[in-house]
Amino acid sequence: MDRLGTGIGWRPEIADGIAELPGVDWVEVVAENICPGHLPPALEALRARGTTVVPHGVSLGLGGAERPDPGRLAALAERAEALGAPLVTEHIAFVRAGGPLTASPAMEAGHLLPVPRTRDALDVLCENVRIAQDALPVPLAVENIAALVNWPGEEMTEGQFLAELVERTGVRLLIDVANLHTNRVNRNEDPATALDELPVEAIAYVHVAGGIERDGVWHDTHAHPVTRPVLDVLAELCARVSPPGVLLERDEDFPTTGELAAELDAIRTVLKEAPTPVALPTPAPAPVPTPLRATGVAVPRGTATAVGTVGTTDTATATATGTVGATGAATAIGTAAATGTATSTTDAARQRLAVAQTALLSALVAGTPAPEGFDRRRLLIQSRALAAKRASVVARIAPELPDILGGDYRPGFLAYARHRPMRHGYRQDAMDFAVHLLAEGRPADPDAHRRLTQWWRDRAGPKPPRGGPAHRLAHAVRRALHRR
């Protein structure tokens, strides 16, 4: 693996500051937030002066029960080629559930949720990673995530899970030391043990980020300074291996350029002061993944369209009905029909994983009962965090809504989200929220109601989308508005 050096997550809000920071060898961009052929000028300027740019995906859902969506893979491949990236990265997480495998409505988390460390989940993840590897033009590295909740009945530690994933697929690892610290606080998992079990020679690079502890729970916010315990985990990692790259992440509440420079200096100090790593045996060559193009999942490149916001998705809502999270009630629908791939040995595992993930996500975003074995208090914390993030992202991509609704926006959105899962990404979520308010005759203020009505009309087009409850609700709102 080529050495990357010290880098920072590129965000438009701090683009000018990043251009001024000394010693930045490379940057990472959220893949879904850029459009090939229309890169931001500040990012193009970095590339022109030789700065490496790595696309970091957030929406594949490699840890989900479904096979990776060909369109999303094509989009990630297109961005890697447009940026001339040496690799691409994604997460070991699931981000959506429901749909054909459970004969229930599709739901989106709008967040990275943990995968159970079980044989079923590992088998599915390995196949999904190999599908992604086959579709991408450059190597893939996958990231460990932070978690608030523990899955019951886990069969492996995180280190064991990642080690077997690497052994079976040859995938590289993106190790987030802040997430290792988060799991120490929230899941009582020792970062040193995880690092001891990892194949550290497979590390492509490392993430470092800040967070905050509230009521005994660590929140991986990416909106606070990097803490000493996180830097200590980085030092633990550097005592085992010299990582090819280390990157500072910051996503919200951006500090001054000087403060970012100080955090980068703190990271460089850890790297400089780290003892020489203990020599490891030369690893055997990584296994070459068996090509999967014959299964029909390889996708043509250059067909992706731009996605404007992190987590924005275009996944179609399942037309099948059924109780979300029900076990044994829904008949499995073969993945071959859903994805166009041949039947594989993971189909039964996918079915079991789909039921489990749908039950968890439904409890988090639709208010259904908590699945057996989960900590109900932690589920409530996670549920509230998901709703709060959803409200914040919608406010960013549709700033007219909080402007129109004023102080009623956030409580109104949180009440709306309590039993209404996101199904088509954040932009559609904003539209659905407006429809919900208008259907209930809100806001009560005539001027705010008029402005919200006009906002919705400007974006709804001549006809609302067809099919399902959202269509019927939008149609009812349109009829009511025409009568005014």
Question: What's the confidence (pLDDT) of residue 345?
Answer: 83
Question: What's the confidence (pLDDT) of residue 475?
Answer: 53
Angstrom CA distances, 410 to 12, 109, 366, 401, 445, stand at 25, 19, 18, 10, 17
pTM of the model: 0.82
Closest CA to 266 of 227, 237, 240, 238: 227
Report the amino acid identity of residue 369: P
**Average pLDDT of the chain to the nearest whole number:** 86
pLDDT in tens, 151-185: 999 999 999 999 999 999 999 999 999 999 999 99
Report the amino acid identity of residue 82: A
d(CA 261, CA 266): 9
Per-residue pLDDT of the chain (484 residues; tens, 9 = 90+): 689 999 999 999 999 999 999 999 999 999 999 999 899 999 999 999 999 999 999 999 999 999 999 999 999 999 999 999 999 999 999 999 999 999 999 999 999 999 999 999 999 999 999 999 999 999 999 999 999 999 999 999 999 999 999 999 999 999 999 999 999 999 999 999 999 999 999 999 999 999 999 888 888 889 899 999 999 999 999 999 999 999 999 999 999 999 999 999 999 999 999 988 865 554 444 454 444 433 333 333 333 333 333 333 333 333 333 333 333 333 332 333 334 444 568 999 999 999 999 999 999 999 999 999 999 999 999 999 999 999 999 999 999 999 999 999 999 999 999 989 998 899 999 999 999 999 999 999 999 999 999 999 999 875 544 445 555 555 555 555 555 5
Question: What's the confidence (pLDDT) of residue 216?
Answer: 85
Closest CA to 107 of 479, 429, 458, 441: 429
d(CA 119, CA 397): 39
Quick check: helix, strand or coil at residue 71? helix
Q: What kind and span of H or E run contains 394?
A: helix 376-397
List residues bridging with 422 in a β-sheet.
108
Q: What kind and span of H or E run contains 417?
A: helix 409-417
Question: What's the confidence (pLDDT) of residue 207?
Answer: 98
* Residue 94, token pair as written in the block: 């699931």
Question: What's the confidence (pLDDT) of residue 277?
Answer: 83
Contact 335, 341 (CB under 8 A): yes
Question: What's the confidence (pLDDT) of residue 366?
Answer: 94
d(CA 127, CA 346): 8
Question: What's the confidence (pLDDT) of residue 478?
Answer: 52
Question: What's the confidence (pLDDT) of residue 2?
Answer: 81
Q: What are phi and psi of 90, to 5 degrees?
A: -145, -170
d(CA 288, CA 266): 38
Give every CB contact of residue 227 below 8 A, 6+ residues apart in sequence.
181, 210, 211
Question: What's the confidence (pLDDT) of residue 309?
Answer: 36
Question: What's the confidence (pLDDT) of residue 484?
Answer: 53
Q: What kind and span of H or E run contains 186?
A: helix 177-187
* Residue 378, token pair as written in the block: 């932690």
